Amino acid sequence: MIQFKLRPWNISDLDSLVKYANNWNVAKNLTDKFPYPYTDSNGKAFIAFASKGKPVHIFAIDIDGQAVGSIGIHPQDDIHRKNAELGYWLAEPFWGQGIMSVAIKQAIDFAFTTFEIDRVFARPFGTNVASQKVLEKNDFVLEGKFERVLIKNGNYLDELIYAIRRANWTKETKIINQV
């Protein structure tokens, strides 16, 4: 497997972010808040957003100094405050190499170690089988399926809810080293 690290986003990541995010095969599996085409302006706004959390909880996936994807833990609030959403994407040239599986393990360790939560969930599209498989590989359980509730590119898609509970979490990796 290619070596990578998770680290905070920096404005110096702008060129690699735009290079790898500007890909329909990535964008088609994400919400419309992840635009296609992906521009410098989109990248600057994302880096500013990803950098403002305390603690930082949205990380660049770094391979040889280039940001080639992102993974984040998004704590919820109000009655959902014991939950956090996991979001992620990886540049297409790095798909199928085991990177995201390890990155998810690291993000889950970070989530349960950093936040007072009991559950981390992810919401892949029903059409995104690779994302479903990587979640299942990381002990996420399918909790629900909502048929034809999402609209993406004019098509109705199923929304799946996967989650891992603190009680089922086994810490296997080192915590993300925050800079």
| % the chain with pLDDT above 70 | 96
Task: Please tell me the predicted confidence (pLDDT) of residue 1.
Answer: 79
Per-residue pLDDT, averaged over 100-106, amounts to 97
pLDDT tens per residue, range 120-161? 999 999 999 999 999 999 999 999 999 999 999 999 999 999
In a 13 Å sphere around the CA of 13, the CA atoms on its Cβ side amount to 28
Q: What DSSP character marks residue 125? A: B
Domains of the chain, each with CATH number or no CATH: 5-168 (3.40.630.30)
Helix (H) or strand (E) holding 58: strand 58-63
DSSP helix/strand/coil, 68: strand
Per-residue pLDDT, averaged over 47-57, amounts to 95
- Which burial class, exposed, middle or buried, applies to 79 when counting CB atoms under 10 A from its CB (0-12, 13-18, 19+)? exposed
Structure tokens at 157: 């898609």
The yes-or-no verdict on residue 170 having pLDDT over 70 is yes
pTM, entire model: 0.94
